[in-house]
Structure 1
Amino acid sequence: MKGETIARAWALARADGLVLGFTDHDRALRFEGISFRPDAGLSARAVVQGAGLSVDNTEAVGALSDSAITESDLMAGRWDSADVRLWEVDWSDVANRSLIFRGHLGEVSRSGGAFRAELRGLSEPLNQTQGRVYHPRCSAELGDAKCRFDLSATGYSAEGLVQETDGQRLVLTGIAGHYAGWFERGQLVVLSGQAAGLRGLIKVDLASPAGRELGLWTSLGLHPKVGDRIRLIAGCDKRPQTCRMKFLNYLNFRGFPHLPPEDWLIAPKVNR
């Protein structure tokens, strides 16, 4: 490629299938079935690519635009872990191009009318802990392939309507038959409205005559509105007693409840 005809082109693909393309060239480019727009939706700093197993990383910055990446979508987490590809392309002949980065969006921060997003390379998962964790509590996530519990089983989820909300606190109507605390450590899923598809982790679950009162660990990016439908999924504190009595799933318990405590390991040994 000739240096004077090289441009950069970015493609971002969300989990819901939406794909956006951007380029630093002054005209639109098209390849890979994507139209790359010459606007301020996205630009990038220098790509840092390490040899061996080090993590490739860079940073993307851009202006918030209704026609591209909106602030509401970022707040709602719809761009979290979006697939990212970066090409160097000859704008005079787009068939002459090379893919120089592939990864996904990491942490996103916002300030005023702009955003900044960390880009993480394909080797990022190598930083994650591998193998089993030996701990008295279960290492599986409720409903995953290790836990094997069927979350669709009767009694372990419920749906209701938002009656009140201020972000981290919601009051729902239409949910009955579950004692207080049943959904603590579980999930809240928004089924309708502008925030549909968002999920939150439940910190507090209270049952009262006024309705089901919930407190979330963190506020959802977009607040559900009165009348939106919500699904609650039962929570698990990963204790063996909970697995046995609440979920009847002790055969799949992935913890080690009979491990000696740390106090036993460091206690002085007395010869008898």
Structure 2
Amino acid sequence: MSQRSFTLKQTWQRPIILIQGLVLPLLLLGLWQYNSSLGASHAYAFVPLQNIYFAFIKLLETGELWLNTWGSLKKAGIGFILGSMSGLILGTLLAYSKVLNALVSPLFNSIRQVPLLGLTPLIALWFGNGEEAKIFIIALASFFPLVINTFQGLSHNDAKYDEIARIYQFSFWRKFKKIRLPQALPHILTGLNLAVPFTWITTTASELLFNAGAGLGNLMMKAEINAEMDILLVCAITVTLCGAFMTAGIHLISKRLLQWRT
């Protein structure tokens, strides 16, 4: 195959892949709109798409969507950073210390089996029902994936690289920087990708449970009470978009950091 033919094939493949990816969402939207036209009861459960659009415009004009989206983004961002950094540190310590691993791992593995929202009453006793409680729950959601993936990444030893480090008499920090961390980086970045959906699930759930302050979860709760399903769906779509943009950002960072592997 010539270079020109290969380039043309690549050029055509991209729009085809994009179209294929749109088929299922468009089909689901069509089914949704069809169900909304079957009667009042269906229109309540399957809100017409135009109503969702009008609700979106209204929330933008009143500023409610901006205010509550920023409230959720702020909590999600702080919780994600705190949880990820804490998980990265603990995962590193567990990988390098057999004593600490033996002491902490049984408790860690036990606690991570408990659903985070099951700890809500206890967290409410510790932090009250304000922003601190929400951020703590979000941080825990990011914490566990980072601990596990960091530990797995740093625990993997490639014998040939260890031999190179021994021959060149690398110090601990140089070996960590030049060998262990690059080897562990794909695992760590996978942990960050796994943490994103958990971050947004717990952000919305914590706002629903601790119904105080600005946040998309709070707006969803008010919409449910007032039977405003269009507003509830606007909030759900906004949460989805926030999570998608966050995932895309981490994907771009991953590509940049892992360029050396290609």
TM-score by length of 1: 0.20
| Larger RCO (alpha carbons 8 Å, 6+ apart) | 2
TM-score by length of 2: 0.21
Bigger fraction of residues in strand: 1
Bigger fraction of residues in helix: 2
